[in-house]
């Protein structure tokens, strides 16, 4: 089982307490009716799906119930960093250096 660090609880806790919630840092268009169909499709469905570091949202649903963001290496399934929602994305280059 993976241990995930909750940035609110500040503890490494079992994966079972958490729920995955999709890719992070996807902003909903401020005025949806003004965007084109292609832009709206991209917002709704098009995700990066990288081989490497993926920035994603998680929720500590059976714990403090907070959403937070995590950078995870999709090949090794290692969590490189977790940080509170609203904080800027960490420097991916330095994190992927750590992963190797």
Give the binding site for other proteins (CB under 8 A).
1, 8-11, 13-17, 62-66
- Residues with Cβ within 8 Å of residue 72, at least 6 apart in sequence: 53, 54, 56, 78, 79, 80
17 vs 42, which CB is nearer to other proteins? 17
The CB-of-68 to other proteins minimum distance in angstroms stands at: 11
Q: How far apart are CA 41 and CA 35, in angstroms?
A: 10
User: Closest separation between CB of residue 28 and other proteins, Å?
Assistant: 24
Q: Which residues pair with 19 in a beta bridge?
A: 59
Would you say 41 or 84 has its CB closer to other proteins? Answer: 84
């Amino acid at each position: 089982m993976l241990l995930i660090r909750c940035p609110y609880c500040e503890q490494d806790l079992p994966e079972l307490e958490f729920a995955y919630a999709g890719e992070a840092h996807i902003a909903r268009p401020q005025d949806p009716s003004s965007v084109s169909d292609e832009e709206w499709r991209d917002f709704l469905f098009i995700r990066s799906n990288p081989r490497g570091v993926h920035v994603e949202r998680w929720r500590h649903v059976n714990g403090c119930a907070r959403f937070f963001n995590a950078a995870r290496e999709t090949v090794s399934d290692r969590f490189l960093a977790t940080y509170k929602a609203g904080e800027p994305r960490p420097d991916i280059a330095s994190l992927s250096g750590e992963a190797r």
